[in-house]
Amino acid sequence: MNARFTFQPTPLAGLTMIERKPISDERGYLERLLCADEFAAKGVQFPVLQANRTMTRHKGTVRGMHFQFPPYAETKLVSCLAGRVFDVAIDLRQASPTFLQWHGVELSADNHKSLFIPAGFAHGLQTLEDDCELLYFHSAAYVAEAEGGIHPQEPKIGIAWPLPVIEMSPRDCSHPALEIGFQGLAL
């Protein structure tokens, strides 16, 4: 079997960059977005219980930083279908050696990369072009009462957004600052 993906670890344990390998010819290409067997062989396992698609109209918009509290914590696989985004995950896992550290990567329709985000991370992004579309696979259904968020411009995290932030939703703007003594998520 020809591998359809390459898996690259990031500095945050479990957070994995996955590069898809499309099969191309003069007509275009076929690209596999997910393969449970190939992912499992690399230690990347999660059941897909929900899929969501977003479209963000304006370059410089930030969405995030979202997570769900246990026992509803979710794993995500995020892929960009149109445009380019700077995709970011923050390690919120209690007792993790990289607790409160962030890692960002560019995802685009052209680079064929996805970000695998384990449970216990907050996730967000900034659009680098207009009209960006993303596809999210989730290991758990959304539970409104379990939703959490960190302000995308939280100074204790210090995410270096590549562009000036031109737009955020009222919900994302209202995410609280990290509380003193925040211990993280116990999974």
Catalytic machinery residues: 66, 136
- Would you put residue 99 in left (φ > 0), alpha (ψ -120 to 50) or beta? beta
Is residue 171 within a helix (H) or strand (E), and if so which, with residue range? helix 170-173
**Half-sphere exposure of residue 86, counting CA atoms within 13 Å on the CB side?**
17
Reduced 3-state DSSP string for 95-129: CCCCCCCEEEEEEECCCCEEEEECCCEEEEEEECC
Nearest residue to 71 (alpha-carbon basis) of 148, 149, 146: 146
Take residue 55 and report the two structure tokens written for it. 């479209």
Take residue 23 and report the two structure tokens written for it. 């099969």
Is residue 23 within a helix (H) or strand (E), and if so which, with residue range? strand 23-25
